[in-house]
Amino acid sequence: MKIAVLTSNPLFAEGGHVMLARSLVDALREAGHDVDLVRTPQNRFGRQGAAYLATWLTDVGVACDESTVDQVISFRYPSYAARHPRHVCWLNHRMREYYDLWERFIVPLKWRGLLKEKVRRRIIHVVDRYLLTKNVTKLYTISATVQQRLQRFGRIPAEVLYPPAPQRPYRCDGYGEDFFAVSRLTPLKRLDLVIKACAEPQARHLRCAIAGDGEDGSRLRQLAHDLGVEDRVRLVGAVDTSQLVDYLARCRAVVFPTMSEDYGLVTVEAFASRKAVITCTDSGGPTELVRHQQEGLLTDPTPAAIADAMVQLAESPALAEKMGTAAAIAGAAISWPRTLDRLLLR
């Protein structure tokens, strides 16, 4: 089959959805399909209408050699606006500022701005509902968290289909002393909780590497300095695939305290590396995969609770290995062949 995989992406950014799209492309090619990745526009706030329209007008039905594109698989907004008679949407998320993050988004707005955004929000809701119920042949979500948002905002039915880990050479080199966290450095990822956890009295001996870049980087570095933990909590910046695999292979466990995450590929990447995951009870997608005291630990989203969980695994390499083994088994059940079997229209 000739398949177009569509996702949107802001300029000079590389989110987890792009990694997922690329992994899907690799899996489809390995299965013998002719595949291309198409990035649709994602404009800044106030100009999203143009991005939706541009995607709606994009011709994804015919390849450059005039052959027919057999199927389209789209991810996040507004890529699902593309028109094709065989269109599967594997939804990452809609524009969350107009949905579950609305209350946070409107806090700094004055009355004129609030009125304008309320109108835009209403339009986006109407357009998204039409596109996700009338423009796609089949709708999946990457987690029950995203599925529940669709029900809450629009009562749109969808099936959950968990993404496997990206196709990388994951391995386990043991259970070293350092913990590891990796994510975009943004407030929603709550990596400040990891830094504060390492400053708790019971965690004064713990070490953690935090990988990633983003707008929250300067604040997090200053926080580590102010708390006196910068010698134990290292912000190592962006890492390439080889470095990421190395960190995952050697760490004691992965710490992922994100807030209401769509899914969190970090979780299945940790599982593929036979590592337990410490996440929070309100972290969304990760909590669907991590069972407390089995594939990892679920904690309250507080520095003290995260510190206690880290200490528990720090004091018992055997427990970290036991949970890592359970995590590997759980991760292996989420495979690309099974995923493609559901995504491809027959």
Kindly state the tokens that stand for 327.
Answer: 């995590």
Kindly state the tokens that stand for 44.
Answer: 């800044």
Examine the domain organization and report whether 113 and 261 are in the same domain: no
**Is residue 170 within 8 Å of residue 238, measured between CB atoms?**
no
The answer to the question of residue 167 being in a domain is: no
Q: What is the pLDDT of residue 49?
A: 85
Examine the domain organization and report whether 247 and 312 are in the same domain: yes
Examine the domain organization and report whether 156 and 197 are in the same domain: no
The C-alpha atoms of residue 214 and residue 217 are separated, in whole angstroms, by: 6
Examine the domain organization and report whether 151 and 186 are in the same domain: no
The answer to the question of residue 80 being in a domain is: yes
Q: What is the pLDDT of residue 12?
A: 67
- What is the pTM assigned to this prediction? 0.92
The residue from 132, 161, 190 where one domain ends is 161
The answer to the question of residue 147 being in a domain is: yes
Examine the domain organization and report whether 19 and 147 are in the same domain: yes
| Count of other CB atoms within 10 angstroms of residue 228 | 10
Examine the domain organization and report whether 183 and 281 are in the same domain: yes
Residues spanned by the domain of 20: 2-161
Examine the domain organization and report whether 139 and 29 are in the same domain: yes
Kindly state the tokens that stand for 96.
Answer: 């969350």
Examine the domain organization and report whether 193 and 154 are in the same domain: no
Kindly state the tokens that stand for 226.
Answer: 């102010």
- Which residues have a Cβ under 8 Å from the Cβ of 14 and sit 6 or more positions away? none
The residue from 114, 134, 161 where one domain ends is 161
For residue 72, what is the domain's CATH number? Answer: 3.40.50.2000
Length of the chain measured in residues: 346
Q: What is the pLDDT of residue 13?
A: 66
Examine the domain organization and report whether 19 and 156 are in the same domain: yes
The residue from 105, 129, 161 where one domain ends is 161
Count up the domains in the chain and report the number. 2
The answer to the question of residue 341 being in a domain is: no
The answer to the question of residue 60 being in a domain is: yes
pLDDT tens, N- to C-terminus, the chain (346 residues) = 999 999 987 776 666 778 899 999 999 999 999 999 999 888 777 788 889 999 999 889 877 777 899 999 999 999 999 999 999 999 999 999 999 998 888 888 888 888 988 999 999 999 999 999 999 999 999 999 999 999 999 999 999 999 999 989 999 999 999 999 999 999 999 999 999 999 999 999 999 999 999 999 999 999 999 999 999 999 999 999 999 999 999 999 999 999 999 999 999 999 999 999 999 999 999 999 999 999 999 999 999 999 999 999 999 999 999 999 999 999 999 999 999 999 999 8
Examine the domain organization and report whether 7 and 148 are in the same domain: yes
The answer to the question of residue 152 being in a domain is: yes
The answer to the question of residue 168 being in a domain is: no
Examine the domain organization and report whether 45 and 185 are in the same domain: no
Examine the domain organization and report whether 195 and 152 are in the same domain: no
Q: From 181, 168, 134, 156, select the one nearest 280 (Cα to Cα).
A: 181
